[in-house]
Structure 1
């Protein structure tokens, strides 16, 4: 441990703040007179059987191989302050753990004889995590990251086992569980597949084991990448429990949009009104969910033409549009992703309405083409054709519509530069590591959940458009569930048509704040 000229180790410097006593008398006093911890066994979570089926699907794909999926560690925000913990989405999907469970945990799926594993599969899964330290331990009161005195109680091994219907074990046994019998397969060793770049300690442990057993690291990287890919593809089609969670996230998000409209009078009076908007939505996310699914875009005026505007430090002025792109993440970690572009004073101007309705028409065209058996890319193509036609009608395209939307053209992308759809789930951009042929070139399948989100963005400095268009950015985004009978708009309860938006806003607030 580094020691400075003053003699105090650097790693002890944070105790200058906490001033924790170290006397034997204090330690002895802290060990006694505490109530016994809860031994209540929780009921099995509704997600447990769904998570078991997901693990079984992974087991079928990687028979005879050890699978290692870390949750990830705590991450430092500054000095001794951590970000709120969120497990890796692949880990959450396979275990059912949401909320802030469980830093440093690792799921290990150990291969068994064919058909003798969990649920008749080919692996036995064990969740390794740090058990709660007893109140007679120094960790209980001295460890600000893991001690119950600092962060509150956590479920013990048996309670987590009951909750998730998943075998659990102390984290202290993890190294042996991962590295035992590891080695080159054709000489009797066990192949390990690791979800990489989640926990650097796990990366180092597995890589060291591979080096020590002469396993080819380059080949192993390819095998690990295939696991990452498989975990993304496993989430392309949502099960019934996931769809319930996502509808809850969408419904709560809609409540957040309502709260934002209520806050608009104060936002207009504040020098950083976008922060007022952001704060109103964040309050709903924390009250009713776990967190935001992603940083809120609360973009007013020309800021709405910046696709990922998250500074949110601008003013909100009457007569401007407010582009609000926001989503609540549920306790299960499933998120919504909804965008509406609202007239701050409650009424669209003629130009704003013209642009808004063009985007709405494009969204409706994407929705119409989104049918089982169609390609995912068809949604984008249908939407951008409508936008290109409007741009041509307005005299903005320098070429024909057909030339613009051709692979060698793309001039329309000056004003619609992003894709129209992405999968949605545990990540706002879910399934991002899936193969192209299963994602962009994939077939729309019942159970898929995705967005439809066309937009038009005319920047203040864009001299290729008339002055009256400049500073206007419009995006409309809804969350879509594909069913056997066609698409269902999960966010349809939030008004979309211009007249409906105006009427909805009028029922919540008046621009004067009355």
Structure 2
């Protein structure tokens, strides 16, 4: 008998599209009987509509501001697509911050969604504005469809339920439409305003497919496509991104509450880190132990980390963006922990504390620590309504320059160092002292200089104050006793009409208080550091 004649035939993949082969691992049946069985006997979806989200009214106000600024123009704000991490595994989805701000949506509900502002007669739009805004996205297919069980990226069987068009409309007070209608919504009547067309502004580099769709529409409707000046169109788009960034400079009441939630969870994360230090000191990659302790709290209390945690011990603390976190933590060293929890709303904290790994500062560590604390306090004292944002940095770095001069480290006078022509003190404090904070850890980054660095502090701004000193082991310009010490103290500040409020004040800042706080955690946990 010929065994080959009795061997089941395996379908060839020679004609199977490459993009489809990723699903081969699922060994999904394709018989009509299976499809019919999968479509039957499912409980109906919930019929009761959800209540209006607390953020909905605030998001509507933000959209009205944008409508007033871009009358007569179509605005396109994508959420962005899923991003592949490895083969058929995606990163957790996070929408573009401008999209999240204008819709109020966080978490991972709406990959590929797009918010479109359609211009209408002035005063006839949403809330008396000049646009009707519509959220376009792909609602979950019904359970009687093949996508339900066959699509591992969007099928409910694989990823769970997603809100429907009517549910999002109820939650957000925002018109919704199926993604299939998006292309027409973006491209219809595009053209130069002088010939009756509608000009588009797009938040670019968020979704390549939307970029291509808008560019094609502009090209196809141009009077002289071959000489179309893309630089002019890019400038239109950049103005929209700039406006979205500047819109976030002042936080509303809902945003401020979200910032407080993120900071509170971050404080809990720092406590968990201190609890983990006894084990971290015995581990070859103690920094990873610390990183993991904070990450666990971030996932328990919020959505995610606001940014990659910096858990830097010893000389690693002098590397400003050290987030490899592969180092050992030795007793007697300092641990610089820069970490923030991102709340479910996507607002993030950004806090840094520098902790003695064994619970006690050495004399030289304390001296440097106190200098950084004095600089932070000077920045806080300078932060008042009506003061320019840049003055925080000036106040903090002046204190640092004075201390460096006292210690004999500055090669010139304090006056020369802090002058624009000098800046020698910046060898040990190379970064800025403050940045805005919110949906992005470095929020409002596309705002104009005159509204950011040269802007005036105002009620509703949230920003950091974070001076530091970083003395690298390799720095032969300083005495040996300073080398390998990196210290940063960072707090999240809310500006009010009455002055600044330290949102992260629950974490101790003074050296004595840090030591007492750490000792209390160990005593409560019946632990110890050696």
Query: TM-score, with normalisation over the residues of structure 1?
Result: 0.98
Residue 58 (structure 1) aligned with residue 66 (structure 2): yes
1:470 to 483, 490, 493: 483
Offset of residue 27 of structure 1: 1.1
Verify the 8 A CA contact 2:279 2:289 in the aligned structure 1: yes
Supply the distance in 1 between the matched residues of 2:44 and 2:318 (Cα, whole angstroms). 58
Residue 512 (structure 1) aligned with residue 520 (structure 2): no
Verify the 8 A CA contact 1:252 1:328 in the aligned structure 2: yes
Supply the distance in 1 between the matched residues of 2:87 and 2:421 (Cα, whole angstroms). 50
Residue 208 (structure 1) aligned with residue 221 (structure 2): no
Partner of 1:390: 403
1:257 to 223, 247, 270: 270
Deviating beyond 2 angstroms after TM superposition, the runs of 4 or more aligned structure 1 residues are 4-9, 215-218, 510-514
Matches within 5 A, 1:338-353: 338-353=351-366
Supply the distance in 2 between the matched residues of 1:72 and 1:7 (Cα, whole angstroms). 32
Q: Is the alpha carbon distance of 1:327 and 1:124 closer, same or farther for their aligned partners in structure 2, counting shifts above 3 Å?
A: same
Could you give the per-residue CA deviations for residues 79-114 of structure 1, whole angstroms, max 9, x where no partner exists? Answer: 000000000000000000011121000000111111
Aligned positions, number: 512
Supply the distance in 1 between the matched residues of 2:163 and 2:15 (Cα, whole angstroms). 40
Partner of 1:371: 384
Offset of residue 26 of structure 1: 1.0
1:180 to 188, 191, 195: 188
Partner of 2:280: 267
Partner of 1:354: 367
Unaligned runs of 5+ in 1: none
Partner of 1:409: 422
Partner of 2:115: 107
Offset of residue 12 of structure 1: 2.6
Query: TM-score, with normalisation over the residues of structure 2?
Result: 0.95
Could you give the per-residue CA deviations for residues 30-65 of structure 1, whole angstroms, max 9, x where no partner exists? Answer: 111111112221110110000000000000100010
Q: Is the alpha carbon distance of 1:457 and 1:314 closer, same or farther for their aligned partners in structure 2, counting shifts above 3 Å?
A: same
Partner of 1:310: 323
Offset of residue 512 of structure 1: 3.2
Partner of 1:420: 433
Q: Is the alpha carbon distance of 1:118 and 1:470 closer, same or farther for their aligned partners in structure 2, counting shifts above 3 Å?
A: same
Supply the distance in 1 between the matched residues of 2:418 and 2:215 (Cα, whole angstroms). 47
Matches within 5 A, 1:136-155: 136-155=144-163
Partner of 2:6: none
Matches within 5 A, 1:234-245: 234-245=247-258
1:453 to 466, 481, 486: 466
Supply the distance in 2 between the matched residues of 1:432 and 1:119 (Cα, whole angstroms). 29
Partner of 2:133: 125
Verify the 8 A CA contact 1:210 1:217 in the aligned structure 2: no
Partner of 2:96: 88
Residue 197 (structure 1) aligned with residue 210 (structure 2): no
Offset of residue 509 of structure 1: 1.4
Supply the distance in 1 between the matched residues of 2:283 and 2:275 (Cα, whole angstroms). 14
The Cα RMSD (Å) is 1.3
Supply the distance in 1 between the matched residues of 2:148 and 2:201 (Cα, whole angstroms). 35
Partner of 1:495: 508
Partner of 2:44: 36
Offset of residue 184 of structure 1: 1.0
Partner of 1:171: 179
Unaligned runs of 5+ in 2: 1-11, 223-227
Offset of residue 216 of structure 1: 4.1
2:291 to 278, 302, 316: 278
Secondary structure in 1 matching 2:345? coil
Residue 20 (structure 1) aligned with residue 28 (structure 2): yes
